[in-house]
Amino acid sequence: MALAPNAVALIDVTQQRARLYRVGAGLGVALLVLFVSPFLFAQDFALVAIAFFAIGAVALIVLALCLLRTITCPNCNLALVQYAFANVAYGKWLSWLLEVKECPSCGRSGNSPGARLKAV
């Protein structure tokens, strides 16, 4: 399907860019909490260190799964981040995700009729 040169990225049409950034920020905080725990352990705050490690690890797993599964095509529910990890060249998944204008599975684009309606 030929797209207009000014076609909008699928992630913007479906208003999922903000979700991507929120989950990314959460992953950063979870990593920070996880990496602080050994320093707390070294300072004899063992229980606090264990709690930080557990909270950071659980948050990291939950947010990673959220990132993989919740950014989807509004038409066919293809998990776009998971698709990008599996099919896009290593290191280019994020730029692909931010620029893709058409669902690789069903072909739904930002300019397809009803795309905005289904995204809400």
- With contacts defined by CB under 5 A, name the span among 15-23, 68-76, 92-100, 110-118 that binds Zn ion: 68-76
Per-residue contact flags (x/-) with Zn ion for residues 88 to 107, judged by CB under 5 A: ---------------x-xx-
Site size toward Zn ion, by CB under 5 A: 8
Q: CB-based contacts of 33: which residues, under 8 Å, 6+ apart? A: 52, 55, 56, 59
CA atoms within 13 A on the CB side of 118: 15
- Give Cα 26 to chain centroid, integer Å: 11
Q: Which is nearer to Zn ion, 76 or 94 (CB)?
A: 76
Q: Which is nearer to Zn ion, 92 or 118 (CB)?
A: 118
